[in-house]
Amino acid sequence: MMNRARSLLLACVVSLLVYLPRASAGVEITKTNGEARHVKAEKYEADIAADGALTNLKVKGQEMLKPGVGVSRGAYCFQHGPVPLNKVEQPNDSTVVAKADGKPAVTYEFSADTITLSVANTTPTDLQFVFVLDPAIGVVMNDRGEMVKMPVKENWPDSVWLVGDKKLHISGATKIWGPYAENTGVIEADLKAGETRKIVVQISDPTPAEAARAADVQQGKIAEPDLAIDSPRPWQVIQRRTKAGGLVRVSGHVKPSAESVEVRFTGKSADGDLPDKWQPLTFDATTKAFNAEVQTPAGGWYKVEVQAKAGGNTVAQALVENIGVGEVFVIAGQSNSTNYGEKRQEPQSGLASTFDGINWRPAADPQPGAHDNSTGGSPWPPFADAMAARYHVPIGIACTGHGGTSVNAWQPNGELFRHTTSRIDQLGYFGFRAVLWHQGESDSDPLSSMSADEYAAKLANVILASKRQAGWDFPWFVAQVSYHNSKEASFNNIRDAQKRLWDQGIALQGPDSDTLAGDNRDNNGAGIHLSEKGLRAHGKLWDEKVAAWLDKVLAAEK
């Protein structure tokens, strides 16, 4: 009895150590005036005033915000004027929360090169969260690489601001506009009543090419491109509709007058070289926009060339490279679904790509788009490599999970549910093959005592609600997950609940990751997260379960 009590206590302590928020390395937060805070990080310094506004953000000595012009407070909530959030608290070494009774709340999470803001509009009316930028930042770039000089008004949720050797990447907004007072630029995020929005600020150095191009744009040496391709994007994987191929949306706009627009795909498909021919695209000469879905064989990577013509002559052209038609998977769950592994993994196949909600890139860890901004290793590069070796097509990953979360935190209308369903919406109808769910460790805590009935009902609620919201019936794979430590490697209540969802046809059977014990775990086998060996084994387990089902689906799609 005493040994059992000690075991329970040990499990509880291990759970707490695993799931406590991690202080970000290289960040120091100190009180200044009253409840105001000064943040010193590796890449920047920042100030949060006593009213909860982010009033200063200094990068390499350059102030990026502009408080004190008009009503500006730098970066702040706005409802018919700045909203003071006078309760400023610091729950841990890297987080500051600003709130007030009956008003919205802003949580600032600081790391060495990133500030993540969670803005919760708990009020009954809409609000805006705005950044008023110093006028020295005169050049902005969108997620397609188009770079323009401020002032400009665009519905860009993702923007990169450049000045000299400083680069500010802000995602999660609604639009950018200017000029505001004293020729400042504004980034605006619109929140409806009850909405919570995540805004991520990343501080980095521009590449030499970006810095040189920004200087040319600032001096008026570079104009808007004559032809801009909005879709597809570099490294994008389009979900194939059948084993043979899928529909690639090609859209964008032309600057000069044109009579027609056409596209050409080149590269090697799963069955050989593509035919080297131009195809017409639907083109509106009045709006100068083109938009069409082009049937494309499975495979990649492809080069997509677009040209506009007038009077038989080419008046504008552009291209986008590394486009694939293959298999795409959305990932959700807790830490072992994100980037908590002992060593970052890199894909070896050359056919793995990852999606953060805006951009695609090769799928080396850490996986972007995870809600917790984790930075370690994941099983998804090994999984993608194994899938690519089976099917000879590019594999796309969209990771959305958050470490240390109970199934309770994933219920509909919650932040994590919205984060994953927003990625589902971004990928679109039949834009991915399945959701891969890995979660259960938090709910198998011996002291939480979540019953099989409760867990099964709550996860079923998440699965069914996600399909209703998206408007189409996509599969969910649910892994068998309950591991705590080497002495308590599984708990029947959670395992039984997960199996029940398979038996009821609510979910497909995922891998049994509780079998990954010993040196598959980090900290010499004592941890709950996975070692490098464990990450590779985990990816292979997912490959085997998904492929057993997908083989049947593809056979039926012929």
DSSP 503-549: HTTSSEEEEEGGG--GGGBTGGGTSSSB-HHHHHHHHHHHHHHHHHH
What backbone phi and psi angles, to 5 degrees, belong to 42? Answer: -60, -40
Query: Is residue 422 classed as helix, strand or coil in its secondary structure?
Result: helix
Mean pLDDT of the 470-481 span: 95
What are the strands, taking DSSP E only, across 32-146? 37-41, 45-48, 54-59, 62-63, 75-78, 87-92, 95-99, 105-110, 114-120, 127-133, 139-141
What angle separates helix 532-556 from helix 380-391, to the nearest 10 degrees? 40
Under 8 Å between Cβ of 385 and 352: yes
Alpha-helical regions (H) of 369-414: 380-391
What are the strands, taking DSSP E only, across 334-438? 352-355, 360-362, 395-399, 434-438
Under 8 Å between Cβ of 327 and 427: no
Mean pLDDT of the 507-519 span: 95
Report the pLDDT value the prediction gives residue 477, as an integer from 0 to 100: 98
Report the pLDDT value the prediction gives residue 5, as an integer from 0 to 100: 43
At 179, the pLDDT band (50, 70, 90 cuts) reads confident
Residue 385 φ/ψ region, left for φ over 0, alpha for ψ in the -120 to 50 degree band, beta for the rest: alpha
Under 8 Å between Cβ of 435 and 507: no
Query: Is residue 219 classed as helix, strand or coil in its secondary structure?
Result: coil
Q: Could you tell me which residues are beta bridge partners of residue 503?
A: none
At 23, the pLDDT band (50, 70, 90 cuts) reads very low
Residue spans per domain, the chain: 27-218, 227-323, 326-556
Q: What is the pLDDT of residues 414-463, one digit of tens each?
A: 889 999 998 999 999 999 999 999 999 888 876 666 899 999 999 999 99
Share the mean pLDDT of the chain.
90
Mean pLDDT of the 86-115 span: 95
| Percentage of the residues of the chain whose pLDDT score is greater than 90 | 73
Within 10 Å of residue 490's Cβ, how many Cβ atoms?
18
Report the pLDDT value the prediction gives residue 17, as an integer from 0 to 100: 38
CATH 2.70.98.10 fits 27-218, yes or no: yes
| pLDDT above 70: residue 558 | no
Report the pLDDT value the prediction gives residue 378, as an integer from 0 to 100: 97
| Consecutive H or E run containing 230 | strand 227-231
CATH numeric code, 326-556:
3.40.50.1110
Cβ contacts of residue 34 below 8 Å, gap of 6+? 50
Instruction: Say if strands 476-480 and 508-512 run parallel, antiparallel, or are unpaired.
Output: parallel
What are the strands, taking DSSP E only, across 363-432? 395-399
Under 8 Å between Cβ of 425 and 471: no
Cα–Cα distance between 537 and 541 in angstroms, integer? 6
Query: Is residue 321 classed as helix, strand or coil in its secondary structure?
Result: strand
Instruction: Say if strands 27-31 and 114-120 run parallel, antiparallel, or are unpaired.
Output: unpaired
At 143, the pLDDT band (50, 70, 90 cuts) reads confident
At 101, the pLDDT band (50, 70, 90 cuts) reads very high
Q: What is the pLDDT of residues 28-53, one digit of tens each?
A: 999 998 889 999 999 999 999 999 99
Report the pLDDT value the prediction gives residue 395, as an integer from 0 to 100: 98
Cα–Cα distance between 542 and 340 in angstroms, integer? 17
How far is residue 329 from each of residues 21, 384, 397, measured CA to CA in Å? 28, 10, 5
Instruction: Say if strands 434-438 and 476-480 run parallel, antiparallel, or are unpaired.
Output: parallel
Under 8 Å between Cβ of 284 and 253: no
How far is residue 289 from each of residues 145, 227, 252, 304, measured CA to CA in Å? 18, 10, 6, 17
Closest by CA position to 235, among listed 145, 325, 306: 325
Segment among 112-121, 137-146, 345-354, 532-541 with least mean pLDDT: 137-146
| pLDDT above 90: residue 373 | no
Q: Could you tell me which residues are beta bridge partners of residue 119?
A: 106, 197
At 491, the pLDDT band (50, 70, 90 cuts) reads confident
Report the pLDDT value the prediction gives residue 9, as an integer from 0 to 100: 42
Segment among 215-219, 507-511, 531-535 with least mean pLDDT: 215-219
Report the pLDDT value the prediction gives residue 321, as an integer from 0 to 100: 94
Report the pLDDT value the prediction gives residue 447, as an integer from 0 to 100: 67
Q: Which one has a higher pLDDT value, 502 or 179?
A: 502
Class of domain 227-323: mainly beta
Most confident of 148-152, 268-272, 399-403: 399-403
